[in-house]
Chain A
């Protein structure tokens, strides 16, 4: 099997000097794929994603992007390497307009950003209408679109989403997933953490079920949905 595009390989570690939260945890994603991390509360889902993004100490194991070892890079350097990250909360600049949010997303770029912005507006048409409104005035779902749009502005090689549907209603959630699928179809690898396990696995090409910071089950989304063990313990029967 060839090396995946982005892989957090056998990661063990925790925040600061605290106890280890992850134990030998592996997650990976390839172009065109949506990889989803699910699991019960406190299982280390977000932690695994943050480890991949360099926000905590990985004591053993490594993170590789496109074959390059990036284990020791800071999150900022990883952004420059092409990783786009959308945090779960406070993921937009509330006092700035939608357009300024997108501009800030492209802060590290020195080339012309108008094409990318056009693409984002095409993907999220509602943002075009609200481009001059402060992002803080938008609804929950629209904010998430701004957040994803901001991350896309860096022209990332991989997009990471931390619980993009947290706190939005089911309908909005479906719409967001819809957009995520569209983004994925442009060939961009997407790695996301999801609370709403069932829906997320539906759209996942690859699913990771974590328990206690370890890989408990791994497979395609459909496989996991069909797995009676997984159904029993995480999906409510």
Chain B
């Protein structure tokens, strides 16, 4: 579905993404792991159009989407969440969801003055949909709270909820579990699984929590130093020599120095 070919992203002399090539299969939940600084988030940002690539190509269903701005990618069905939740803090949780769908007639100024009826109808439908999503995520009780006031985990759920307001094709989740307690993490995992099965969303998940990855993801891609290092099931990845060396570690060569006088 998504094909990344020889992608490079350099910041000055620093090669954050250094020739990454990978493919995301339709309908999969792909896990993306790797040590801090391996370039996972940068890769995300380049695919999602936040950063222009230095070189390389990204295609989606055969169409070149390299360097398209995020709002155009959104309308093509490519959505994302953020490592640190990017909620609209002064708006209620329901409004956070209702703003998502594109092409609302109330987004045109003319209609706000002369198309009140149409807007009202659309708003009713949007509201119902938003409430449905909140229910799906088991957070109906926070619908009228300002998004700035809810907990970090709830913000993550809300971000996931935003992707459900439209028919997404593929959703990128950037460390959806960071700062989330375990119970909520499982709720998120369940929601992801259900979305994948019921709505056919494709997911790409950056995570550090191996248990979370193990529960959800197949296949798992491991990145290191801006490149893809290995791909396979979590079991295969864990057994992979290169991965152990770069991510999980082999041990210290200078152990002898520990022997103290």
Please determine if A and B sit in direct contact within the complex, based on CB atoms under 8 angstroms apart: yes
Binding site for B on A (CB under 8 A): 19, 32, 40-42, 140, 163, 166-170, 174, 177-178, 181-182, 185, 195-199, 202-203, 212, 233, 235-237
Whole-angstrom distance between the Cβ of B10 and the nearest chain A Cβ: 14
Interface centre among B175, B245, B249, B253 (most CB of A within 10 A): B249
Say yes or no: A41 contacts B178, CB within 8 Å. yes
Q: Can you list the 8 inter-chain pairs with the closest CB atoms, starting with the nearest?
A: A167-B37, A198-B249, A41-B208, A42-B179, A202-B252, A166-B36, A178-B254, A236-B248
Say yes or no: A181 contacts B36, CB within 8 Å. no
Q: Is B109 interfacial (CB-CB < 8 Å)?
A: no
- Determine the distance from Cα of A169 to Cα of B246 in the docked complex, in whole angstroms: 8
Q: List residues 128-159 of chain B with CB under 8 A from any CB of chain A.
A: 151
Whole-angstrom distance between the Cβ of A144 and the nearest chain B Cβ: 12
Say yes or no: A198 contacts B245, CB within 8 Å. no
Query: What are 17 pairs between A and B in contact, CB < 8 Å?
Result: A40-B209, A42-B178, A42-B179, A166-B36, A166-B37, A167-B35, A169-B225, A174-B253, A177-B252, A181-B258, A196-B249, A199-B251, A199-B252, A202-B252, A202-B255, A203-B255, A212-B182
**B53 CB contacts on chain A under 8 angstroms:** none
Say yes or no: B255 contacts A178, CB within 8 Å. no
Q: Is B50 interfacial (CB-CB < 8 Å)?
A: no
Contact of B177 among A42, A178, A195, A237 (CB under 8 A): A42
Say yes or no: B36 contacts A195, CB within 8 Å. yes
Q: Is B124 interfacial (CB-CB < 8 Å)?
A: no
- Determine the distance from Cα of A230 to Cα of B179 in the docked complex, in whole angstroms: 20
Say yes or no: B181 contacts A174, CB within 8 Å. no
**B177 CB contacts on chain A under 8 angstroms:** 41-42
Interface centre among B36, B179, B246 (most CB of A within 10 A): B36
Contact of A170 among B210, B246, B255 (CB under 8 A): B246
- Determine the distance from Cα of A158 to Cα of B209 in the docked complex, in whole angstroms: 31
- Determine the distance from Cα of A166 to Cα of B208 in the docked complex, in whole angstroms: 14
Q: Is B117 interfacial (CB-CB < 8 Å)?
A: no
Contact count band on B: 20 to 34
Say yes or no: B254 contacts A198, CB within 8 Å. no
Nearest B residue to A199 via CB reads B249
Say yes or no: A203 contacts B151, CB within 8 Å. no
- Determine the distance from Cα of A89 to Cα of B151 in the docked complex, in whole angstroms: 26
Q: Is B238 interfacial (CB-CB < 8 Å)?
A: yes
Whole-angstrom distance between the Cβ of B38 and the nearest chain A Cβ: 8
Say yes or no: B181 contacts A212, CB within 8 Å. yes
- Determine the distance from Cα of A237 to Cα of B243 in the docked complex, in whole angstroms: 13
- Determine the distance from Cα of A212 to Cα of B260 in the docked complex, in whole angstroms: 34
Given A168-B37, A237-B238, does the pair A174, B225 have CB atoms closer than 8 Å? no
Whole-angstrom distance between the Cβ of B214 and the nearest chain A Cβ: 10
Whole-angstrom distance between the Cβ of B146 and the nearest chain A Cβ: 15
Q: Is B180 interfacial (CB-CB < 8 Å)?
A: yes
Interface centre among B35, B211, B238 (most CB of A within 10 A): B35
**B181 CB contacts on chain A under 8 angstroms:** 212
Beyond contacts A32-B260, A178-B254: 11 other A-B pairs, Cβ-Cβ < 8 A, are: A41-B208, A166-B37, A168-B37, A170-B245, A181-B257, A195-B35, A196-B35, A199-B249, A203-B252, A233-B211, A236-B238
Whole-angstrom distance between the Cβ of B190 and the nearest chain A Cβ: 19
Say yes or no: A163 contacts B257, CB within 8 Å. no
Contact of A236 among B35, B36, B210 (CB under 8 A): B210
**A174 CB contacts on chain B under 8 angstroms:** 252-254
**B175 CB contacts on chain A under 8 angstroms:** 41
Q: List residues 221-261 of chain B with CB under 8 A from any CB of chain A.
A: 225, 238, 245-246, 248-249, 251-255, 257-258, 260
